[in-house]
Amino acid sequence: MGRAIIVVWRIFASLSGLCVIGALFVLINLETLIMIDMPLTKADHAIVLDGNNQRLLRAKELLDQGLVNDIYISNGEPAHPDQIDQIVAELGFTPPDRTDIKIKILEKLGVPRDKLIVFGAGSLTTRDESKSLALQFGPQSSRLILVTTNYHSRRALEIFKRAWPEAEFQVACPGNCVAPVQWWKDPAVAAQFILEFVKHIYFRLGTSVA
């Protein structure tokens, strides 16, 4: 009995040690695992994914630099309002259209309206966005620069490549697709990076995530 306990304890200690080593490996390499920073070349379109509106500024930079001809904006409005949205509507309040706000921000920055194209219809995840864009363009090939946030860059690139293999994709981020210096000291940033790593695992397993 005592020998069995010792064997079980050794197995448990070994597995615990491997878990600790694995966790340290992930933390040390987390930036590389979730981010991809690349030199940009001339493309046809900038594709602004839904989320942080700082991405709009990066897309304008790409347009100003002559790296893209126009900007595609993701329509991330929910396709089906929830109960709270319905109550707000019954109270007579009309929430602003987030897609329209994005367009107006870029127009305010000097981007001509004919350079702005909306894609998607209530896209809720990056996979939704990739499928909507591929459907909108059809079987043709195109050169695209995805504009997203640093921690989302690698997964976004892989999702779009899988959804539309005929296209050529690059990725760009506000401030480049790199992590802030000593990001692990900021709990909010560290939590976001770790959550993105978990989402990346789910993506690899074929499970739909945002």
| Least confident window among 54-58, 85-89, 97-101 | 85-89
Task: Identify the pLDDT of residue 198.
Answer: 86
* Cα–Cα nearest to 123, from 76, 55, 82, 160: 76
What is the DSSP secondary-structure string of 24-77? HHHHHHHHHHH---------SEEEE-SS-THHHHHHHHHHHTTS-SEEEEE---
Nearest by Cα to 106 from 64, 160, 57 = 57
**Integer angstrom CA distances of residue 77 from 3, 123, 130:** 62, 7, 15
Give CA–CA dist 22/25, Å, rounded.
5
pLDDT average, residue stretch 10-17:
52
133 near 47, Cβ under 8 Å? yes
Domain at 34-179: CATH code: 3.40.50.620
Quick one: pLDDT band at residue 204, thresholds 50, 70, 90? confident
In terms of pLDDT, which residue wins out, 89 or 134? 134
Instruction: Tell me the pairing of strands 45-48 and 70-74.
Output: parallel
CA 78/CA 97 separation, integer angstroms? 10
CA separation, residue 96 to residues 54, 100, 113, 120, 170 (Å): 18, 8, 19, 18, 31
164, 133 in Cβ contact below 8 A?
Answer: yes
The tens digit of pLDDT for each residue in 180-190 reads 888 888 899 88
Domain residue limits, the chain: 34-179
pTM metric for this prediction: 0.82
